């Protein structure tokens, strides 16, 4: 998708997404055979439920039908939320990932897997899990120190009560 088309689509669709209380995270147009697929990713601080996604999808579809933003050819509109292992690229993504385990690629090389405890304008406060029976340690990373960050899927994630009990101990 050309930058111009991407910018036009963002300008056209972002106000509609915002009117539903959501953030427009990503727009992508992909060719699938002879058809094109317009993928729109939305999210919010509290997540997006199926009703919100359906409402946004209908609003976007209607707006796209009344404009020529997608050109003459056929296309399919897909509206969804970021995946479980979302890449953190905006400050709001880090805020939304508080309490989650994240894999950080460090700007100076190497990587770190840690839980985000707090986020401010300069960076993140982390809890680095202990290894082989050792206690977890605290660490601070400034945003310039982070080359890339991605939320990790946790199959045996501690619940909030267990985390609070550990903090009180």
Residue 35: both structure tokens together: 């058809």
Reduced to 3 states (helix: H, G, I; strand: E, B; else coil), residue 99 is coil
Question: How confident is the model at residue 158, as a pLDDT?
Answer: 57
Instruction: Report residue 154 as tokens.
Output: 């946790």
Give CA 164 to chain center in angstroms.
Answer: 26
> What confidence score (pLDDT) does residue 144 get?
95
The answer, as to whether pTM is greater than 0.75, is no
87, 88, 145, 146 from 28: Cα distances, Å: 16, 17, 29, 25
Domains annotated for the chain, with CATH where assigned, are 3-80 (3.30.300.70), 91-168 (2.30.30.100)
Q: Which residues of the chain have pLDDT under 70?
A: 1-3, 156-169
- The predicted pLDDT at position 163 comes to 47
Contact (CB, 8 A) for 106 and 143: no
Task: Write down the pLDDT at residue 157.
Answer: 59
């Amino acid at each position: 998708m050309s930058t111009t088309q991407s910018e036009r689509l963002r300008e056209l669709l972002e106000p509609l997404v915002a009117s539903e209380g959501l953030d427009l995270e990503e727009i992508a147009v992909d060719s699938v055979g002879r058809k094109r697929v317009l993928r729109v990713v939305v999210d919010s601080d509290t997540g997006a439920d199926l009703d919100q996604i359906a409402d946004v999808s209908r609003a976007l579809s209607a707006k796209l039908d009344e404009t020529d933003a997608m050109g003459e050819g056929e296309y399919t509109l897909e509206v969804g939320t970021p995946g479980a292992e979302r890449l953190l690229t905006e400050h709001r993504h880090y805020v939304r990932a508080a309490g989650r385990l994240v894999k950080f690629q460090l700007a100076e090389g190497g990587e770190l897997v840690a839980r985000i405890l707090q986020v401010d304008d300069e960076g993140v406060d982390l809890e680095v899990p202990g290894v082989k029976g050792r206690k977890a340690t605290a660490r601070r990373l400034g945003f310039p120190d982070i080359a890339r960050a991605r939320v990790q899927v946790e199959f045996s994630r501690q619940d909030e009560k267990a985390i609070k009990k550990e903090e009180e101990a």
